Amino acid sequence: MIAALMLTAGSCCDRSAQPETPAVPAVLPVQLDSVAAAGPGEISIVAEVPVDTVSALSKAIGEYVSESLGGSWEGSCVDFDGMLNHYVSVLSETYTEMFEGLPADEVRCLDDVKIVKYAESAKYVTYFVTHDLYLGGAHGSQMLDGVTFRKCDGRRIGWDVFTGQYDDNFAELLKDGLKEYWQITSDSELRTYFLDENDYYSVPRPECAPLFTADGVKVVYNEYEIAAYANGRPEFTIPYAEIEDYMMVTAKRLL
C-alpha cells in the first residue's frame, strides 16, 4: 500500500518517475450533461463532465463544477445529473421569488452557464466556464472563469505556482497581452484603459486562474476587473517560452 502511494506521488512530483499504467488517459473522456428550466425567464446549465466517476481527477472536476454553480450541492461530486438539477432548481426558486407579482411579459431573465473541457495534454486538463446573465436593464453581463487540473491527482493549478508578482518584466508580459487585446501599441494609451491608474505600474493578475493551453498560458480578466465595461474582458495567451522562467517546478512539470 505504501509503495503504491509513493508511486502515485512520484508520478506527480518527479518527471523521471513514470508509472506503467497512467492514472488517467491522454484524452479525458467526457459527456455532455444539460438541464434547463423556464418560468420565470430561461435557465440553462450545460457541462462537459468526466465519464469516469472514480478517479481523483473526476472528483476534483466535480467539486469545481459544483463550486462554479454556487457550492450548495451536498450530494456526490460525481453525481452530475443530480448536481445540475439541484442548481437549476435553486435558480428557479430564486427567480420565482425575485419576479413574484410581475406579469410574465415583463420578466426579463436569462441565466445561462456553460462549463466545457477547454484544453488538454497528457499531463493536464483545462476547464472553462462562461456565465451569461441578464436580469433586465441596458445590458447583461458575462462572467468567465476556468482552471487547469493536474491529471495525475486532480490538483488545481493557480497563480500560486508562478513567481514574479512584483517583477517589472512579468508586468510587461501582461501589458503586452493587454496591448494585443486592445490593439494598441503605446504605454501612454494603455494607461488610459485601466480603471485604477495604479494598476498600470503593477498590473494585477486576474481572479481567473492561469489556463494552460496548447499555445501557452491563457490570461482572462472579467468585466470591471481592470477596465471599464466598454473595454471588454481582456484575454490573451502568453507563450510558454516567455512565461516559463516565472513558473515554479510544479507548473513546469505540466509542460
Q: What is the CA angle 48-51-53, rounded to 5?
A: 115
Task: Name the more confident of 247 and 20.
Answer: 247
pLDDT band of 5, cuts 50, 70, 90 = very low
Tens-place pLDDT, residues 154-180:
999 999 999 998 899 999 999 999 999
| List of domains in the chain | 2-157 (3.30.565), 159-252 (3.90.640.20)
Residue 105 is predicted with a pLDDT of 73
* Separation in Å, CA 53 to CA 28, 61, 86, 113, 154: 12, 10, 19, 22, 13
pLDDT above 50: residue 34: yes
Residue 12 is predicted with a pLDDT of 65
Residue 14 is predicted with a pLDDT of 53
Q: Please state, in angstroms and rounded to a whole number, the distance separating the CA atoms of residues 172 and 177.
A: 8
Sign of CA dihedral 215, 219, 220, 226: negative
* Separation in Å, CA 235 to CA 52, 144, 192: 31, 10, 18
* Separation in Å, CA 132 to CA 127, 135, 145, 206: 17, 10, 12, 19
φ/ψ bin of 154: left (φ > 0), alpha (ψ from -120 to 50), beta (otherwise): left
The amino acid occupying position 172 is E
The amino acid occupying position 198 is N
Q: Please state, in angstroms and rounded to a whole number, the distance separating the CA atoms of residues 255 and 250.
A: 10
pLDDT above 60: residue 126: yes
Q: Are 124 and 150 in contact (CB under 8 A)?
A: yes
Q: Please state, in angstroms and rounded to a whole number, the distance separating the CA atoms of residues 96 and 101.
A: 9
Q: Which of 15-24, 59-68, 105-114 has the highest mean pLDDT?
A: 59-68
Tens-place pLDDT, residues 65-107:
999 999 999 999 999 999 999 999 999 999 988 888 887 777 7
Q: Which among 223, 222, 215 is positioned nearest to 240, based on CA atoms? A: 215
Q: Are 234 and 174 in contact (CB under 8 A)?
A: no
Tens-place pLDDT, residues 197-254:
999 999 999 999 999 999 999 999 999 999 999 999 999 999 999 999 999 999 999 9
| Bridge pairing between strands 141-150 and 211-212 | unpaired
Residue 150 is predicted with a pLDDT of 98
pLDDT band of 1, cuts 50, 70, 90 = very low
Residue 21 is predicted with a pLDDT of 42
